[in-house]
Structure 1
């Protein structure tokens, strides 16, 4: 850990990650209430806004062309700055078109930062360090989520939405400007290809990202909807679950990193998909709200195991392919962001169990593909 802290890229990414996490947590905490109370959006319009929020995820493969003009660590800082600007402007556009504009602007910054964050971590830390860095960033990000959620809760009755969004957004913008002025490059990494890279030898990485995108949407969209629609969880109960999720993430992410280093990606990801198989079936067939809440907490905990997909890429990729391959994987992951909510929503209308049973089936498929991972555990 001492070697990691000595690397200037570690505090650089930490500032950006905490800023991005704080901004996103504040934005999503306020958005739905603002959309209903100030912008008077209908349920359909909110759905459209949330769908369009995922569209920039498809565009991250274009990051390789942006890197022709600007260095990657600078792009990460600019992305956070753009994200903060989108958040700061929300309160000034209380309308359907206005929310589309600010949401897409915020999302462009968020998604471009997410892919550059992964890429920079894989380039500037070795195979033993990278899982630890990913875990530390996620752990402190979870702690930030708890603090921001509590802060928004405390001031929501006193501070108008416009100024809440403005304050959060400007803090994120300030972090982007600060990091933009820093130079965290201790040692020049291997020069990255400045073109779209899709290689046959990375096929398993692409497949795992595609399946991971489906898993993410079942968790984000349908698991929470199940809690609210069928088990009548209140806003405060959902908030408590969110806090519990972040507490678990804070403590368990470092453990997950140690497991990846000790046992390798194949075993860790296998554990995730075996667990998800039973969790998804539990969503479908358990009928006790407390069991379902427990499954949701486990689901979120397993969600953090996806670190293993990124570290798998690091071990198999040509060092020059890291940036374009990370952006390609992120874009592929987002294919499911459009397909799964729509198809799953239609199937939910037939029987709410169907999306979860399909999720259990996809877990088995994922488990099968994971067995193709041939990398070894890192030396520790």
Structure 2
């Protein structure tokens, strides 16, 4: 049990950590597709192939965490930040050959993926007796707010010419590395404030309890949806509409501004309506977005839709809506917590889930690049919409545990 008098201070430090982590991510990972296009002029097929080194750390993260199990979660989070700093910082100073660039992308991605499950497990350890939906919503809201700040910096930097992916020095990546260095310092401070290590089970025990089967289905489906949403969604704007980083930054700003209010609301809705209804909403949102994306991309690629005016505004709206969908992952995390047979299952199950979704992501990225190049971009989105019907099935099968039913978490 954490020292009660230190919990509030620890939560404040944690808010700073997730804020700066989001800012650093917004200045690195969130603009990486434009980097690939501007610095290396990659095709849709190559863009799919790049996802192998980017997503492979997500597959092996459970093994990495297990190998570091003698350390606390916060200490491992420090290692994760160090790897991210090295990976993105190196790309800020040099523009290496394509193959060498992929090595640094792998290093940066390893740090980013290590931090993902640890961020959730550390955050939940600091919540105490508060309503988990509300507090997790606040965490995500802070993260989204600083994603918006990152978007403002990206827009201003590229519009003024200070940021460029074709220059010798990529200042945007160097600044991102410096911000992540501050996160590293704050993690060290957090450990001192807590006064005792936060340490969760990191055994490679591959928790395949039957109680978790629907959670694993959800994370596998998220692996499919994530690749379409985070890789090929923006690629519609970048490749078909020739939009640059400043345009995507403006859209990120809009999405993040909405998210400041939307994400905490999701937390409140979880407390009020329960997990089951939110899973239904999540599934339906993916189906609608992908069907619309498919129709728009078919029109752009075939020349039937203008690359200006209302069709482009519709594509922008879908991009923003996509950003909202990425934040719905907290529903899966809280669902897992509600069905966990043992608290020690949470971190290894999150890690295994992360590995499963990344295995699927790698496969989908490769297939997606082939489909885009040979058949057309619309078929990627239509396939994703069809597969999202699985989410509807899972939402129908999920049973609310009493304390997580409507109004349940608030009473817990």
Scaled to the shorter chain, the TM-score interval is 0.7 to 0.9
In structure 2, do the counterparts of structure 1 residues 234 and 25 end up closer, same or farther at CA, with 3 Å as the change threshold? closer
Equivalent in 171, 174, 190 of residue 182 of structure 2: 174
Offset from partner CA, 1:241-283 (integer Å, 9 cap, x none): 2221111211100100001111111100101112222222222
SS in 1 for 2:362: helix
Matches within 5 A, 1:35-184: 42-43=42-43, 48-95=49-96, 96-125=98-127, 129-155=131-157, 157-158=161-162, 161-183=169-191, 184=193
Residue 409 of structure 2 corresponds to 379
The yes-or-no answer on 1:214 pairing with 2:240 is no
SS in 2 for 1:379: helix
CA deviation after TM superposition for structure 1 residue 236, in Å: 3.9
Residue 233 of structure 2 corresponds to 223
Q: Distance in 1 between matches of 2:314 and 2:287?
A: 16
Residue 303 of structure 2 corresponds to none
CA deviation after TM superposition for structure 1 residue 173, in Å: 1.4
Deviates more, 1:305-314 or 1:132-141: 132-141
Structure 1 segments unaligned to the other structure (5+ residues) = none
Q: CA RMSD in A?
A: 3.0
CA deviation after TM superposition for structure 1 residue 27, in Å: 1.8
2:61–2:351 contact (8 Å) kept in structure 1: yes
Q: Distance in 2 between matches of 1:163 and 1:235?
A: 14
Offset from partner CA, 1:273-327 (integer Å, 9 cap, x none): 1222222222223553333332332232233222110001111111111111111
In structure 2, do the counterparts of structure 1 residues 352 and 57 end up closer, same or farther at CA, with 3 Å as the change threshold? same
TM-score, normalising length: structure 2: 0.81
Structure 2 segments unaligned to the other structure (5+ residues) = 300-310
Offset from partner CA, 1:59-92 (integer Å, 9 cap, x none): 1112442443201122123312321232222233
CA deviation after TM superposition for structure 1 residue 232, in Å: 5.2
Equivalent in 391, 403, 409 of residue 366 of structure 1: 391
Q: Distance in 2 between matches of 1:379 and 1:31?
A: 38
The yes-or-no answer on 1:297 pairing with 2:320 is yes
SS in 2 for 1:202: helix
The yes-or-no answer on 1:357 pairing with 2:382 is yes
Offset from partner CA, 1:304-353 (integer Å, 9 cap, x none): 22211000111111111111111111111112221112212222331332
CA deviation after TM superposition for structure 1 residue 142, in Å: 2.1
Q: Distance in 2 between matches of 1:191 and 1:148?
A: 32
